[in-house]
Amino acid sequence: MGWARSGLMTGLFLAALSAGCQSKMYDENKALYDENKALRDQNDRLKQQQAMAQAQPPAQPVVQAPPPPPVPESAPLPEVHPKIEQIGGLETAINKSGNTVVQLPSDVFFDSGQATLKQSAKESLGKVVSALNKKKYVSKQIIVEGHTDDQPIRVSKWASNQELSVARADAVKQYLIAHGVDQDRITTKGFGSTKPRDTDRAKNRRVEIVVMTGMSE
């Protein structure tokens, strides 16, 4: 009886030991399975993110507009003056001092390098004379200013642009006086190329009749 009882106890112990080992193996296997599943899920998510990134169009590079070209320091900045009723059909404006300025383009009124008024320009000057003797301007002083471009004189009896600008201003003055404008109202100035009006040289070659309707310069 003793040995039978001892064998029974041994069998029960072995059975309990076997069941404990199986439970431990089950727990280890389940942990490995769960870990493997988590890795597979993470891998699937990475594949989905990669596929979505490849499906999107590539970002377009931002193209910046080129900066505006620098303005040369030597280039004159044109003055902007309000336009008024033209005198003699010529360009007329108010300058920053409030004076009325009539533009006589030298290429229209004079031959190149000359200071003699063209016959074709005298009709416009006749209209200027009529305007200067009307009530609006008849009491105003007048300055006739001569201007040239910056090209050196090569073929002319004038030694410099300065001398040519003075001669052209004087030619306009003499015409105004000869056709009825009081000579005491008129003075002349020659500036040569020192007061450019624009970057266009043709616009710088001019005579200006400045009627002192504003502050004296």
The model carries a pTM of 0.61
Inter-residue contact 93 to 80 (CB < 8 Å): no
Judge whether residue 211 has pLDDT over 80: yes
For residue 49, being part of any structural domain is answered with yes
For residue 83, being part of any structural domain is answered with no
Residue 42: predicted pLDDT: 78
Residue 217: predicted pLDDT: 45
User: Rounded distance, CA 154 to CA 147, Å?
Assistant: 17
Residues 116 and 195 in one domain: yes
Residues 35 and 97 in one domain: no
Residues 46 and 142 in one domain: no
Residue 114: predicted pLDDT: 92
Residues in the chain, how many? 217
Count of domains forming the chain:
2
For residue 79, being part of any structural domain is answered with no
Phi and psi dihedrals of 40, rounded to 5? -65, -40
For residue 87, being part of any structural domain is answered with no
Residues 201 and 128 in one domain: yes
Q: Which residues contact 107 (CB under 8 A, 6 or more apart)?
A: 202, 205
For residue 14, being part of any structural domain is answered with yes
Residues 142 and 190 in one domain: yes
What does the pLDDT look like over 42-83, one tens digit per residue?
777 877 777 776 766 666 666 666 666 665 555 555 555 566
Residue 139: predicted pLDDT: 93
For residue 76, being part of any structural domain is answered with no
What percentage of the chain reaches a pLDDT higher than 70?
73
pLDDT band at 208 (very low <50, low <70, confident <90, very high): very high
Inter-residue contact 141 to 133 (CB < 8 Å): no
Residue type (1 letter), 149:
D
Inter-residue contact 190 to 169 (CB < 8 Å): yes
User: Rounded distance, CA 115 to CA 135, Å?
Assistant: 31
Residues 1 and 47 in one domain: yes
Residues 48 and 129 in one domain: no
For residue 196, being part of any structural domain is answered with yes
Residue 83: predicted pLDDT: 63
Residues 193 and 98 in one domain: yes
Residues 102 and 207 in one domain: yes
Residues 15 and 108 in one domain: no
For residue 142, being part of any structural domain is answered with yes
What does the pLDDT look like over 85-111, one tens digit per residue?
788 889 999 999 999 999 999 999 999
Residue 30: predicted pLDDT: 73
Q: Which structural domain, as residue segments, surrounds residue 114?
A: 92-211
Q: What is the CATH number of the domain that holds 202?
A: 3.30.1330.60
Residues 27 and 134 in one domain: no
What does the pLDDT look like over 129-188, one tens digit per residue?
999 999 999 999 999 999 999 999 887 788 899 999 999 999 999 999 999 999 999 999
